[in-house]
Amino acid sequence: MKLTDEQMKEFSQKLDAKMKNECPVCGAIGKISIDMYSYTIPSFEKIGNSMNIGGEMATMPAGALICTNCSYTRFFNLKILGVVTE
């Protein structure tokens, strides 16, 4: 799902208050880009060494920061940041 302009602004403001604009992998400064889409990260029920695809499932809405220098990608929980409500 594409984030609205308001959600992008809120995501950016929440991260600016907490993070440096530096990539933790390559050290590039000022090369961090906020992806305009939110991602749904699923969590499936695990039974032994298998996943129960038809079983209990939870999801997490995530926003991504991407280093445009080395492509390192970090995900942040948009619900905890207050960017989305569902």
pLDDT tens by residue, 19-65 = 778 899 999 998 989 999 999 998 888 788 887 777 777 889 999 99
3-state class percentages of the chain: helix first, strand second, coil last, to nearest 5: 15, 50, 35
Are the beta carbons of 77 and 62 closer than 8 angstroms? yes
pLDDT-derived band at 85, boundaries 50, 70, 90: confident
Domain segments of the chain as ranges: 5-77
What's this model's pTM, rounded to 2 decimal places?
0.80
pLDDT tens by residue, 2-24 = 999 999 999 999 888 777 788 99
**Strands lying side by side in the sheet with 32-47:** 32-47, 50-67, 73-77
